[in-house]
Amino acid sequence: SDLREQEERGELLQPLIFVLLVLCSVLLYFKVSLMDPGFVKPEEEAKAGEAEGQSLVIPRATGDVKLRRCGYCLVKQPMRARHCQLCQHCVRRYDHHCPWIENCVGERNHPLFIAYLSVQLVVLLWGGHIAWSGLYFQQSWEWLQHNIFLLLSFFLIIIFTIVILLLLVSHLYLISCNTTTWEFMSHHRISYLRHSELENPFDQGIILNLWGFFC
């Protein structure tokens, strides 16, 4: 009867939504970590030029930069691809190798990686709110003994929230500029950026950059 009354008052809706968000976060984690991030396969070499020709970024890049063959897996690298020595593959539109998911973040799983960070941030903020609402501060040793685990949980949630928030904001900024973490950090070492007349030959404006990435 108490459960039915809580359901009628809508008190079960929020816990249900929270559990669904946690489940969605876990599913996104496994999806991003287990899927192909955009590995360049040897049979795709013949299609590399055609695929790059269809990309929106090539017209603004310098035309004298030639595709090079990877010295590790010997495939012809499309522009913006990079070899990951941990995955032992070249990855299209390589962003970075994430140790938390044990996988590269590249062309195929980068949008899902952003979705995972967004859902995870909502879960952490919600969990932090729940932990904070359960704290009633008192200056006594007995109170601290009873609430030590709740305090530790709250501080851990705060730390993870800050990390996820900074990571999400930095990725959204780079996406809005149509660049990757690898290109941003290693601009001076990348041939198609070093020889370009433009600071960022792939930038087409924030709206088109976001549209091209998410849509």
Token pair for residue 7? 């359901």
Residue type, 168: L
- 94 against 215, higher pLDDT: 94
Asked if 61 and 178 count as a contact pair (C-beta separation under 8 A), the reply is: no
Q: Does residue 160 carry a pLDDT above 90? A: yes
Split at pLDDT 50, 70, 90, the class of 137 is low
Beta strand pairing status for 96-98 and 89-91?
unpaired
Would you kindly state where each structural domain of the chain is located, as residue ranges? 2-36+105-214
DSSP string over 132-193: HHT----SSHHHHHHHHHHHHHHHHHHHHHHHHHHHHHHHHHHHHTT--HHHHHSGGG-HHH
Q: Taking 80 as the threshold, does the pLDDT of residue 70 lie above it? A: yes
Mean per-residue pLDDT, 171-189: 93
The separation between the first and the last C-alpha atoms of the chain, rounded to the nearest angstrom, is: 48
pLDDT of residue 190: 85
pLDDT at 59 exceeding the cut of 50: no
Burial of 3 (0-12, 13-18, 19+ CB in 10 A): exposed
Output the CA–CA distances (angstroms, integers) from residue 22 to 19, 119, 133, in the order listed: 5, 8, 19
Position 62 pLDDT exceeds 60: no
Q: What is the mean pLDDT of residues 114-136?
A: 88
Q: Which two tokens stand for residue 163?
A: 């990390």
Q: Is the pLDDT of residue 26 over 90?
A: yes
Highest mean pLDDT of the ranges 100-114, 140-154, 181-195? 100-114
Catalytically annotated residue among 70, 98, 177, 215: 98
| pLDDT band with cut points at 50, 70 and 90 for residue 110 | very high
| pLDDT tens for each residue of 111-120 | 999 999 999 9
The model's confidence at residue 144, banded by pLDDT at 50, 70 and 90, is low
Is 90 exceeded by the pLDDT of residue 92? yes
What pLDDT shows up at residue 164? 96
73 annotated active-site: no
Predicted local distance difference test score (pLDDT) of residue 194: 82
